[in-house]
Amino acid sequence: MARLISIISIALTLLSIVACSAGAPTMKVSSAAHKLVPPEFDAALALMKSGDTEAAEQAFVRLTEVYPRAAGPWTNLGILAARQQNYERAAKYFIAALQRDANNVVALNWMAFVTGKNGSYAGALDWYNKALAINEHYAPSHLNIAILYETVFKHPGPALAHYRRYHELTGGDSILVSAWIYELESANDLVAANVAQVNK
């Protein structure tokens, strides 16, 4: 039980860090005239990273009004709401982002997270798989699926596969994920040894 709580706690931290830094969405819109990232978006992201939640929210709301077809501001409003544990509001923001860009893997990944927080783990798995169907190299979804398989569904095989893929995509930088891989591999080796012994 302690390991489960530890994994979930660390995973939430990793998810928050990964999704908000490397995975921050751009200001893509349909019109070719607005493909560049406006300075206001960078300023809003800076507020978000600094921890000034209220100012960041206001800045992103203004961006939704100025760039109504852009997915990025809605995605980041969702992330801010999720960080405040307002999962219902976060889900509405992520849906708004996905209506503007159905291939927004950051929004899909976070939508999976809030769906799981609302108690639908099967739904969360569906959203993570949608993200990976669009971009199979999107590391945060591999990590989150691995955690879901290990801690909720109790399927160590798929969990190990996704941990390994995350590890590969991120260059093996996470000591924690390396430890989780080692634990699952050791457990698998023990099971295999026991089965071999029984079948003698």
Domain with residue 29: its CATH number is 1.25.40.10
Residue 188's pLDDT band, with cuts at 50, 70 and 90, is: confident
Residues 6+ apart with CB under 8 A from 115: 91, 123, 124, 127
Task: Provide mean pLDDT across the span 165-190.
Answer: 91
Number of domains in the chain: 1
CA distance 14 to 16: 5
For the chain, what percent of residues have pLDDT higher than 90? 73
Give the long-range contacts of residues 162-165, CB within 8 A, separation 24 or more: 165/139
What mean pLDDT is predicted for residues 124-139? 98
Residue matched to tokens 């923001």: 93
The domain in which residue 147 lies consists of 2-198
Q: Which amino acid is at 76?
A: N
Are the C-beta atoms of 107 and 77 separated by less than 8 Å? no
pTM of the model: 0.79
Exposed / middle / buried, residue 170 (Cβ in 10 Å: 0-12, 13-18, 19+): middle
Range with lowest mean pLDDT among 31-40, 60-69, 91-100, 118-127: 31-40
Position 8 scores a pLDDT of 47
- Between these two residues, 82 and 19, which has the higher pLDDT value? 82
Q: Report yes or no: 86 and 109 within 8 Å, Cβ to Cβ.
A: no
Q: What sections of the chain are H helices per DSSP? A: 2-20, 39-50, 53-66, 72-83, 87-100, 105-117, 121-134, 139-151, 156-169, 175-198
pLDDT at position 187, please? Answer: 87
189 Cα distance to chain centroid: 30
User: How high does pLDDT run on average in the chain?
Assistant: 83
Q: How far apart are CA 140 and CA 136, in angstroms?
A: 11
